[in-house]
Structure 1
Amino acid sequence: MVGADRVYRTFIPVKFFSKGWGRVETLERILRVQADTLRHSTDFMKRINVEYEVKIDKSHKGENIEILDGHFVSPLAVREPGLLPKESENAKFQVVLPKSWKSNRRSICLHLAGTGDHYFWRRRNLMAKPLAREKGIASILLENPYYGSRKPQNQLRSSLHHVSDIFVMGAALVAESAVLFNWCNQQGFELLGITGVSMGGHMASVASCFWPKAIAVVPCLSWSTASCVFTEGVFRDACAWPVLQEQLHVFEDGSLMKQLCKHSIHNNPDRLIESAVNKHDSRSLPAMISHDRKIKHRWRVPPLALSTMQNVMDTYTHLSNFPRPHPGSSVICVVAKEDRYIPRDHVTPLTDIWPDCEVRYTPGGHVTGYLFRQQTFRTAISDAFDRLALRV
């Protein structure tokens, strides 16, 4: 089962971050958005409540379900013009409603997309329809920025061009999730939840931190940070390391590094710079970068770029950087015991960050978990809603 993750990865010729880290301005703006949202979360939610109109474009009824298609303008496109690609500025979603409800207190779960999950087909057929028919739980499927109809024209499949793109995606999804949760409240849904698999699971975890009410949270095949995905897991080989190494001049003067550290889990303004160089080498980061440009590394992955990736990813994605979900929330995390896409050996356990969450372990790895554990994911969602109903 462990080997399945590595074997599967060899058949996917996708390269991530082929254009490097992204603009310094973009990385700084996302940090500012993140910090402002944390500092002014009440004002952020008030704006979400009144400023963003959700439109239903069409609906059709099928056997035992009803499907609605809708859209709205992403708050990130309004708040920070130019961060999102033009193609990503309109958020598109699909709602799957059960024909009959199992309870007077209607439940609805927002599903965020995992890596490579374009459009709605997978989540609609593997998760939303069974939840509606078997459990009477409605679903909202939100299309990720950079995916499906929101994919930039010059992007190949799921291959994000810049490291910064994944942070822009995350910032957009936090705000868009809040818009949809508010809309659900307006439609009379009492119990709200959020879930996702792999990248979608981590995005769901982050988005849940900003909703000011109790919520069911079910991250699947994800963990406490994205850094391990790109630095330790089998996905590491999908990164364009030579480009990332060459572009380390982005961080050369250390100012962006120090800015990142202000928001890092370690709260040490020198950590990113110090950990990016060999602990036995007293040279500064600029000196190391200059030296590295003159020689070719004998390592397959340049250690300086690798360390920088780890620290940057931790700064933007580590759940310790965000508040916990509302105290009344019900959190169930489903992980694969032998996951090689998201190794958990050297990162903070999720239970240390969210002590009240339950972790359920499934056999096998990441790929087999995605292919064969959909029922396990749906059961966790149903259980989380049952617990939420007892708390609120």
Structure 2
Amino acid sequence: MSKHHNIYKLYKWHSLVDSVYCSIVTKLSSEQFFNKGWGDRVSFEKQHSLFVEKLKQWKEARNFGKPLQGPSIAENQLQWTYDSASSYSSSSPSYILTRFNKKQPWLWNRVAEVWKLRLREACFLSPATEGLIETGSLSSFPGETRMARFLVVEPLHSSTSTLVIHLAATGDHGYNRRLFCFALPLASSGISSVILENPYYGSRKPAHQVGSKLAYVQDLLLLGFATILECISIAKYFSEGFGYRRICFTGLSQGGLHAAMAASLYPLPVATVAAFSPHSAVPVFTDGVLRQSCSWNQLAATMNEALVTESLCTIQHTEGDSHQIREYYDQASSQVGQYVDRKEQTVLSLLSNALALSDIRHFPQPANPRAAVLLAGENDKYVPKDCVDMFSRAWPQMEIRWIPSGHVTGFLFYRQHIFQAILDSLARV
């Protein structure tokens, strides 16, 4: 009896941390997610068609064994803005320089010196802009978000050709968290890293956005689309230009989902580590604790501007895929209906449809699904347990590792498990 009681208390503690943390962040913020509503319907429909067409092309290429034609970075498109090896900085404003010291990048020089590293920052035009220009919907992708930035962390005396690309979790602004928690420990093992600053965060945050709270539902899909293309572009650039042969895409929470999506579209086998990540953004905002951080009143007040209809959210799949995904959303809507009134249920249903493209099951399996690891928290209040089952159905050869933690405590106290998962996944490439 005592043993079961202690397990229950431990479960309650991890879950409580998630709930309390989310409540505190929500109360401290002056805005909620989607506080300006749904976004521009006309541009969304164009973008939705673009996303669907790209996914269809990539999935057909994967199914028929054809090479996937992904985005890339031309040498003349990339601008290096900082290099610790020469204390070089270009005239282009560097996030490193403006964020930490406007005169001298002393912090980064010191980090490079102590850890025996070379740190470099670069920027390039996000490849997402190309498709948005073609569809005439670039205006919905704010100017601040269009220039991608990344930090390269390279051990000075390493002979390995291994690279890990770190994508950001929700609210992970800048480079610091991923640099000190993951990139520096990996550098001690001779492994290089690239830390991408996601659109809508840090120096890429739109002027109208408050903190990490995306103003429009449309922003979440644009964030994902741009992040995936930027990740693939960076991987191809370092693979072809610098000889990196073993590459891992990784991230926590939202970053892990984007890493998995990028891996599924990358033309070569890569390692993938998704930590405490959902299979889709839908249950995170409709069923997890983040639900309390959404501006439901604003979404309800602007329902006539909702981005999608039932016909628009339909995506081509095999019959089995379509049946499973539709069954999942029907079940979710049924459960929602037990707790909310009809108007709220309508808003939740509209949001589920609008975010349908964020589901990993819409993407092809990666070239090497055996090199994928999903770490899941047993007591995660942000990511419902059903997400793990959905993820494993999409990638049945992926390894699932259950961690006795919640979402927040998983990051705080189980980073070594993530580090080990990265090493293990790389060993399978």
CA apart distance, 1:105: 4.3
- 1:160 is paired with a residue of what secondary structure? coil
CA apart distance, 1:237: 0.5
2:376 is equivalent to residue 335 of structure 1 = yes
Q: Which amino acid aligns with 1:94?
A: L
Contact 2:56 2:316 (C-alpha < 8 Å) held by counterparts = no
Q: Counterpart of 2:44?
A: 27
Q: Counterpart of 2:312?
A: 259
Contact 2:278 2:284 (C-alpha < 8 Å) held by counterparts = no
Q: Counterpart of 1:11?
A: 24
Q: Counterpart of 2:103?
A: none
CA apart distance, 1:240: 0.6
Q: Counterpart of 1:158?
A: 212
2:191 is equivalent to residue 137 of structure 1 = yes
Distance 1:199 1:375 in 2: 19
2:414 is equivalent to residue 373 of structure 1 = yes
Distance 1:364 1:274 in 2: 29
Aligned length: 366
CA apart distance, 1:198: 0.9
Distance 2:82 2:334 in 1: 58
Q: Counterpart of 1:287?
A: none
Contact 2:228 2:262 (C-alpha < 8 Å) held by counterparts = yes
CA apart distance, 1:328: 6.4
- 2:401 is paired with a residue of what secondary structure? strand
CA distance 1:276–1:204, shift in 2 (3 Å): closer
Contact 1:30 1:167 (C-alpha < 8 Å) held by counterparts = no
Q: Counterpart of 1:100?
A: 157
Residue by residue over 1:195-253, the C-alpha shift from the partner in whole angstroms, topping out at 9 and shown as x without a partner, is: 0011111111111111010001001110311211001111100001111122222359x
Q: Which amino acid aligns with 2:166?
A: H
Normalised by the length of structure 2, the TM-score is 0.78
Could you tell me which of 194, 204, 222 is aligned with 2:277? 222
- 1:45 is paired with a residue of what secondary structure? coil
2:235 is equivalent to residue 181 of structure 1 = yes
Distance 2:331 2:367 in 1: 34
Distance 1:358 1:274 in 2: 28
Q: Which amino acid aligns with 2:345?
A: P
CA distance 1:298–1:44, shift in 2 (3 Å): closer
Distance 1:111 1:46 in 2: 19
- 1:209 is paired with a residue of what secondary structure? helix
Contact 1:119 1:149 (C-alpha < 8 Å) held by counterparts = yes
CA distance 1:74–1:125, shift in 2 (3 Å): same
CA distance 1:266–1:119, shift in 2 (3 Å): same
Aligned 1:313-328 pairs, distance under 5 A? 313=355, 315-327=356-368
Could you tell me which of 114, 125, 142 is aligned with 2:180? 125
Contact 1:20 1:243 (C-alpha < 8 Å) held by counterparts = yes
Q: Which amino acid aligns with 1:350?
A: F
Q: Counterpart of 2:80?
A: 56
Distance 1:4 1:373 in 2: 15
Q: Counterpart of 1:170?
A: 224
Q: Which amino acid aligns with 2:72?
A: I
Residue by residue over 1:29-55, the C-alpha shift from the partner in whole angstroms, topping out at 9 and shown as x without a partner, is: 332222232244479736526587323
- 2:163 is paired with a residue of what secondary structure? strand
CA distance 1:25–1:62, shift in 2 (3 Å): farther
Q: Counterpart of 2:347?
A: 305
Distance 2:303 2:232 in 1: 35
Distance 1:224 1:149 in 2: 28
CA distance 1:32–1:51, shift in 2 (3 Å): farther
Distance 2:390 2:325 in 1: 24
CA distance 1:19–1:183, shift in 2 (3 Å): same
Distance 1:326 1:357 in 2: 12
Normalised by the length of structure 1, the TM-score is 0.85
- 1:222 is paired with a residue of what secondary structure? coil
Distance 2:76 2:50 in 1: 18
CA apart distance, 1:5: 0.6
CA distance 1:218–1:322, shift in 2 (3 Å): same
Q: What is the Cα-based RMSD across aligned positions, in Å? A: 2.9
Contact 1:94 1:141 (C-alpha < 8 Å) held by counterparts = yes
Q: Counterpart of 2:286?
A: 231
Q: Which amino acid aligns with 2:305?
A: V
Distance 2:160 2:178 in 1: 23
Unaligned runs of 5+ in 1: 282-296
CA apart distance, 1:167: 0.2
Distance 1:276 1:362 in 2: 25
Q: Counterpart of 1:45?
A: 69
Residue by residue over 1:329-361, the C-alpha shift from the partner in whole angstroms, topping out at 9 and shown as x without a partner, is: 610111111100011237743211101110111
Could you tell me which of 342, 350, 357 is aligned with 2:398? 357
Aligned 1:184-223 pairs, distance under 5 A? 184-185=238-239, 186-223=241-278
Stretch deviating more after TM superposition (320-329 or 14-23) = 320-329
CA distance 1:269–1:248, shift in 2 (3 Å): farther
Could you tell me which of 370, 384, 391 is aligned with 2:425? 384
Larger relative helix fraction: 2
Contact 1:195 1:201 (C-alpha < 8 Å) held by counterparts = yes
Stretch deviating more after TM superposition (259-268 or 109-118) = 259-268
Residue by residue over 1:231-288, the C-alpha shift from the partner in whole angstroms, topping out at 9 and shown as x without a partner, is: 1111100001111122222359xx7430112358536999999889889x9xxxxxxx
CA distance 1:272–1:330, shift in 2 (3 Å): closer
Residue by residue over 1:125-178, the C-alpha shift from the partner in whole angstroms, topping out at 9 and shown as x without a partner, is: 111011111x21111000111100000112110010011101001110111112
Contact 2:283 2:384 (C-alpha < 8 Å) held by counterparts = yes
Distance 2:265 2:358 in 1: 14
